[in-house]
Amino acid sequence: MTVHNELGSGFLEAVYQEALRIEFYENLIPFENEKCLNIHYKQYLLEKKYVADFLCYNEVIVELKAVNDLNSQHLSQVLNYLKACRKKVGLLINLNGMPILIIG
């Protein structure tokens, strides 16, 4: 919420991502930025990768959006990330509309 309160709405997702990275750093929240997520099929590691905006505490996927409305594709994206990396909790944060959806 600090990022949204400071910047307001209307910026590109990349701007919010950079600002949130600063907030994580200042608040001592462990995170990986643009975390590459491997996808497995049976015993094979696929060449295709997903890239989540953040992985926090090595447990929580954080995906940012800067859209008017979240839709089912945004939700599916986070659910796919969770499945790919075998995590249970995801945050889908929209900084231009409905602010936060917790998945898990």
- Residue 100 is predicted with a pLDDT of 67
Kindly report the average pLDDT of the chain as a whole number: 91
| Structural domain that includes position 21 | 2-103
Q: Torsion angle, CA of 25/31/33/39, rounded to 10 degrees?
A: 180
Instruction: Give the total number of structural domains in the chain.
Output: 1
- CATH number, domain of 14, equals 3.90.320.10
List pLDDT tens digits, range 36-85.
999 999 999 999 999 999 999 999 999 999 998 889 999 999 999 999 88
Q: Say which residue, 100 or 96, is predicted with more confidence.
A: 96
**51, containing H or E segment:** strand 50-56
pLDDT confidence band for 101 (50 / 70 / 90): low
State how far the alpha carbon of 92 is from the alpha carbons of 36, 48, 86, 101, 102, in Å. Answer: 17, 22, 17, 5, 6
User: Is the pTM of the predicted complex or chain greater than 0.95?
Assistant: no
Distance CA 83, CA 27 (A): 28
Three-class DSSP category at 34: strand
pLDDT confidence band for 4 (50 / 70 / 90): confident
